[in-house]
Amino acid sequence: MDKYSIPVSLSADEKKVSQIFSDIEKSRLSCPQVCSSLIAGKEANFIQCPKADDENNPTALTSSTQNCSQFLKYRGYILRSMTKEEEQFPVAFSILVYCCPHQVEALLRAIYRPQNYYCIHIDSKSSGTFKKCMRSLADCLPNVFIATKMEKVKWGNFGVVAAELSCMKDLLRYKKWKYLINLTGQEFPLKTNLQIVRILKILNGANDINAKIIPYVNPFYFVSI
């Protein structure tokens, strides 16, 4: 422990830590709530806003995907390959999702190209309305599909690996893609598809994997930095 670490008894403070995260969850705000409060000059009242809908209204998105051609045009999906270089270097994406369909859809729209392949793994714990919404979204695009097997995903648990393996197994049916990129529904790209392709070509068959060794923590202490 360094000088910034504070030893706290787990047995005494477990409930306090749990309550802190519970309070944070209850006070979450949606973007429209924040924006409307700012416009009205009510910055101090953010905490009074109701909790944002976790599912981000999956029913509304499901309804909008009933007319796929209209939906894709309205949302601005790129339905043709932008360059010959991208067309000749298709990429596969594995996307693990569990909530917030509009956020997932925004991610998919940003990374979507017709030559790529996209597997969406839905957490088996997700609601029926969310699963229906994701299936409806995937049905609008020929190279987007839902993972055949839905795993129960929990952070730090093997379920995360099992979910990735589920998508990988499905993606192996398609032989053209050159690289696989793992994503979650809460991520967003900082590069264009062309930039991603050029980066992957530089790797020349090598993998880019970041790993971190979790240090041993004394079970009798909660270390806060």
| Tens digit of each residue's pLDDT (9 = 90 or more) over 129-162 | 999 999 999 999 999 999 999 999 988 889 999 9
64 shares a domain with 118:
yes
132 shares a domain with 35:
no
Q: Is residue 168, in this structure, part of any structural domain at all?
A: yes
More confident residue, 33 or 165: 165
Q: Is residue 3, in this structure, part of any structural domain at all?
A: no
Chain centroid, CA 57 distance in Å: 17
- Residues 82-140: tens digit of each pLDDT: 999 999 999 999 999 999 999 999 999 999 999 999 999 999 999 999 999 999 999 99
Q: How many domains is the chain partitioned into structurally?
A: 2
- Tokens 């699963």 belong to 131
68 shares a domain with 25:
no
Identify which of 185, 72, 65, 179 has the alpha carbon closest to the alpha carbon of residue 115. Answer: 179
Q: Please tell me which of 33-42, 48-57, 97-106, 153-162 the model is most confident about, judged by mean pLDDT.
A: 97-106
146 shares a domain with 43:
no
186 shares a domain with 80:
yes
Q: Give the domain range for residue 151.
A: 58-203
Distance CA 189, CA 55 (A): 22
43 shares a domain with 114:
no
Show the DSSP H helices in 27-157 as ranges. Answer: 31-39, 58-64, 68-75, 84-87, 101-111, 128-139
Q: Is residue 208, in this structure, part of any structural domain at all?
A: no
141 shares a domain with 88:
yes
CB 53 within 8 A of CB 30: yes
Distance CA 110, CA 104 (A): 10
| 92, β-bridge pairs | 117, 180
129 shares a domain with 27:
no
Examine the pLDDT at 68 and tell me if it is beyond 50. yes
DSSP state of 88: T
